[in-house]
Structure 1
């Protein structure tokens, strides 16, 4: 069985974020996060959040959460956004698909991520949706130092 570090998982998820990331990241200023030939440069600070709904079988609750998450793309410091639900991939010991939804937000720097935390859109999202979830796990990631 192959195991992967959190960084590898986050990097793979970021690579899958798609055309929205590629379009936005192309104009984003980055430092120390150069892509390889044919790959988009991804903004260097990643905020990845996993949500577990109180009522995981409720399609309405999931729809409300996803709608709320989509509003976060309106925050100026968010350079790209990916919102998703667990994929029907092969179940392996390292795969946790127990969550209901996730968001991946990309920022140019930690200051941008800090501004996002106190932004009125983010605060409204929390106020409107926190009653839906029972658990939230956040991974904030920055580029690893180069050797």
Structure 2
């Protein structure tokens, strides 16, 4: 048997075993209480400015005071592997969880959110928002 054929058989056996284990393992349960996901990505006007980035991060973190937000995560670009499918052109990310669409809509007009926009919009060049609901 050639080396290539042995490698193919070994690889195929590994894939089959991995698939069997993965399909037998239960999927992690998502918390159904907060099915609305709001994800915003911010691009800075001054992308090299750590000071601007830190001011925006602090501003986004201040949104946690809004009672409709059930969970808030704020992040900056991670130094992960460069691949065609990875977009690391943004600077700051926020992920919020809401209990329902009405709460997400109320968040948009909440005075703290409106003040955040007023105080921090000069820092960003672009914002893209992805809203999703558990499927």
Q: 1:109 aligns with which of 84, 100, 103?
A: 100
- The residue number in structure 1 matching 2:117 is 126
Higher relative contact order (CA 8 A, sep 6+): 2
CA displacement, residues 50-104 of structure 1 (integer Å, 9 cap, x when unaligned): 0000001111111110110001111001000100001111111000000010000
RMSD: 1.5
1:98 aligns with 2:89: yes
The CA deviation at 1:109 is 0.4
Among 74, 77, 81, the residue aligned to 2:65: 74
Report the count of equivalent residues. 109
Structure ID, larger Rg: 2
Do residues 41 (structure 1) and 31 (structure 2) align?
Answer: yes
Mapped partners of 1:86, 1:64: distance in 2: 15
How far, CA to CA, are the matches of 2:89 and 2:131 in structure 1?
Answer: 20
Name whichever structure is richer in helix by fraction.
Answer: 2
Aligned equivalents of 1:110, 1:40: Cα separation in 2 = 18
Query: What is the TM-score of this pair, normalised by structure 2?
Result: 0.77
Q: Could you say if the C-alpha distance between residues 134 and 67 of structure 1 is closer, same or farther in structure 2, counting changes exceeding 3 Å?
A: same
Distance (Å, rounded) in 2 between the aligned partners of 1:91 and 1:81: 27
Picking from 45, 50, 63, the partner of 1:59 is: 50
Rounded Cα–Cα distance in structure 2 between residues aligned with 1:40 and 1:135: 31
Q: Which runs of 4+ in 1 moved over 2 A?
A: none
TM-score when scaled to structure 1?
0.71
1 CA distance for matches of 2:134 and 2:30?
15
CA drift of 1:41 comes to 1.6
What is the CA distance between 1:40 and its match in structure 2?
5.2
Structure 1: state its 5+ residue gaps.
1-34
